[in-house]
């Protein structure tokens, strides 16, 4: 495995001809550890940044993604297959070849300024993490929040990065006005397991710290225990919700593991390398969650699963959320405060200017 990365290999995507490296089977005593893979940044010059979302499983209609690919390296990330559309591997390429959209704040401002624009809550972090490590230097998300704050536009953020606390000075006032909320993704309280599952994400204690920081600033905070993986982290449901509630979370949600497209092979490869003692059991229970399949994409089933194991997880989660005081849904964000900028007044022409125009 590449040091500091999640995926075991760089398996080819659906639309590229790359090949994953294979060991030839010979052991060499002088074989050196493979070098760390460096992150490569490229620029996406898209002319629009707001995407429309049509899904009965999701409670939002619009999303925004400042980055494609994610350094966090979560091997189970459902967004990995999107890298195949770039001709790249959903494996290590997804973690090391990041595309950023530096013009996002300016493009967002232009979109919100259009005559007739109707505000809807903008969901950020629904594909790749907007606060992944490169955001610390690029500050694209910071610029996005400055625009949204200026326009009084509602925003809902999902992240597993403590870097979100950097922007508490913006998210706090927006949250107090009913314009912002943040959900921190918390998969485990075990630092060692976290390092295996999400090697470049913030450690669990730092995410709990970020919850406290945002809550103290006035921004409503929730927790997402996603994904829940049988025989890996599902035993922590109760502890995760209790810790989140103690850190200021007011709502909670979960998603069971789903393995669309290339994610399935990447996850199995990682599972066999990381947990060889339970790999077969994990996959057997994953299939129990999805009607005997590795993944069922059907609406209404793909996020929560189906069958006895899914029902058990649902009941455990509901009880733990109730006991932790997290069983109330987050209140809707306000869309009535949206304030588009006033059009600048037309310049006053002098008599000579008007005369010149008339003669022209």
For residue 341, pLDDT over 90 is answered with no
CA–CA separation, 300 and 56 (whole Å): 8
For residue 358, pLDDT over 70 is answered with no
* pLDDT reported for residue 14: 55
3-state secondary structure of 182: strand
Nearest to 86 by CA among 227, 260, 258, 262: 262
* pLDDT reported for residue 303: 80
For residue 245, pLDDT over 70 is answered with yes
Distant-in-sequence, close-in-space partners of 132: CB < 8 Å, separation ≥ 6: 67, 70, 71, 72, 98, 161, 200
* pLDDT reported for residue 345: 43
Tell me if 219 is assigned to some domain: yes
What is the helix (H) or strand (E) element at residue 106, kind and residue range? helix 104-113
Buried b (16+ CB within 10 A) or exposed e, 235-263: ebbeebbbbbbebbbbbbbbbbbbbebbb
* pLDDT reported for residue 58: 63
Which is it for strands 62-64 and 67-68: parallel, antiparallel or unpaired?
unpaired
CA–CA separation, 106 and 125 (whole Å): 19
What pLDDT, in 10s, does the model give residues 128-157?
Answer: 999 999 999 999 999 999 999 999 999 999
pTM: 0.85
Residue with more model confidence, 227 or 299: 227
For residue 344, pLDDT over 60 is answered with no
Range of the domain at 314: 40-326
Tell me if 238 is assigned to some domain: yes
* pLDDT reported for residue 297: 79
| Lowest-confidence segment of 60-74, 101-115, 182-196, 332-346 by average pLDDT | 332-346
What does the pLDDT average to over 86-92? 89
pLDDT level of residue 84 (50, 70, 90 thresholds): confident
CA atoms within 13 A on the CB side of 68: 21
pLDDT level of residue 356 (50, 70, 90 thresholds): very low
Instruction: Tell me how many domains the chain contains.
Output: 1
Residue 316 CB coordination number (10 Å): 17
Nearest to 48 by CA among 112, 94, 99: 112
pLDDT level of residue 351 (50, 70, 90 thresholds): very low
What does the pLDDT average to over 7-36? 53
Nearest to 57 by CA among 260, 284, 308, 239: 260
Q: Are 84 and 14 within 8 A, CB to CB?
A: yes
Tell me if 296 is assigned to some domain: yes
CA–CA separation, 207 and 189 (whole Å): 10
* DSSP bridge partners of 183: 158, 222
CATH number at residue 79: 3.80.30.30
Tell me if 7 is assigned to some domain: no
Tell me if 338 is assigned to some domain: no
Tell me if 295 is assigned to some domain: yes
Q: What is the DSSP string of 275-322?
A: -TTTHHHHHHHHHHHTTTSS----TTTTTT--SHHHHHHHHHHHHHHH
* pLDDT reported for residue 6: 57
Question: Crossing angle of helices 279-289/308-324, nearest 10°?
Answer: 90
pLDDT level of residue 127 (50, 70, 90 thresholds): confident
**CA dihedral of 132, 299, 92, 125, whole degrees rounded to 10:** -10
Q: Are 173 and 149 within 8 A, CB to CB?
A: yes
Sign of the four-CA dihedral 213, 216, 222, 225: positive
3-state secondary structure of 4: coil
What pLDDT, in 10s, does the model give residues 203-241?
Answer: 999 999 999 999 999 999 999 999 999 999 999 999 999
What does the pLDDT average to over 304-328? 95
* DSSP bridge partners of 99: 42, 68
* pLDDT reported for residue 355: 45
Mean pLDDT of the chain: 87
* pLDDT reported for residue 295: 84
Nearest to 221 by CA among 287, 169, 176, 273: 176
* pLDDT reported for residue 46: 87
What pLDDT, in 10s, does the model give residues 31-82?
Answer: 455 557 889 999 998 888 998 877 666 667 899 999 999 999 999 998 999 9
For residue 25, pLDDT over 80 is answered with no
Sign of the four-CA dihedral 229, 232, 237, 240: negative
Tell me if 22 is assigned to some domain: no
């Amino acid at each position: 495995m590449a040091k500091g990365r999640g995926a075991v290999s760089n398996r080819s995507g659906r639309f590229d001809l790359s090949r994953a490296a294979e060991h030839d089977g010979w052991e060499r005593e002088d074989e050196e550890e493979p070098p760390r893979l460096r992150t490569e940044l490229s620029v996406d010059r898209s002319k629009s940044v707001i995407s429309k979302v049509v899904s009965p499983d999701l409670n939002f209609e619009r999303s925004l993604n400042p980055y494609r690919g994610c350094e966090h390296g979560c091997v189970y990330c459902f967004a990995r297959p999107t890298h195949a559309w770039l001709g790249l591997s959903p494996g290590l390429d997804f973690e090391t070849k990041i595309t950023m959209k530096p013009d996002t704040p300016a493009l967002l401002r232009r979109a919100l300024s259009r005559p007739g624009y109707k505000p809807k809550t903008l969901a950020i972090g629904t594909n790749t993490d907007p606060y992944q490590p490169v955001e610390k230097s690029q500050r694209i998300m910071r610029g996005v929040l400055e625009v949204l704050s200026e326009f009084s536009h509602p925003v809902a953020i999902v992240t597993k990065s403590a870097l979100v606390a950097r922007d508490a000075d913006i998210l706090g006032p927006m949250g107090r006005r009913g314009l912002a909320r943040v959900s921190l993704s918390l998969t485990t309280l075990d630092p060692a397991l976290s390092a295996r599952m999400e090697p470049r994400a913030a450690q669990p204690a730092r995410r709990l710290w970020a919850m406290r920081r945002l809550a103290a600033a006035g921004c409503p905070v929730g927790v997402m225990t996603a994904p829940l993986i049988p025989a890996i982290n599902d035993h922590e449901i109760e502890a995760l919700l209790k810790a989140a509630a103690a850190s200021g979370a007011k709502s909670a949600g979960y998603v069971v593991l789903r393995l669309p497209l290339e994610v399935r092979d990447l996850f199995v490869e990682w599972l066999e390398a990381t947990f060889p003692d339970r790999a077969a059991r994990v996959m057997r229970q994953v299939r129990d969650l999805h009607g005997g399949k590795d993944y069922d994409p059907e609406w209404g089933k793909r996020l929560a699963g189906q069958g006895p194991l899914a029902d058990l997880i649902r009941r455990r989660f509901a009880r733990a959320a109730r006991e932790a005081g997290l069983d109330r849904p987050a209140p809707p964000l306000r869309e009535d405060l949206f304030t588009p900028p006033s059009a600048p007044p037309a310049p006053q022409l002098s008599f000579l200017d008007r005369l010149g125009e008339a003669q022209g």
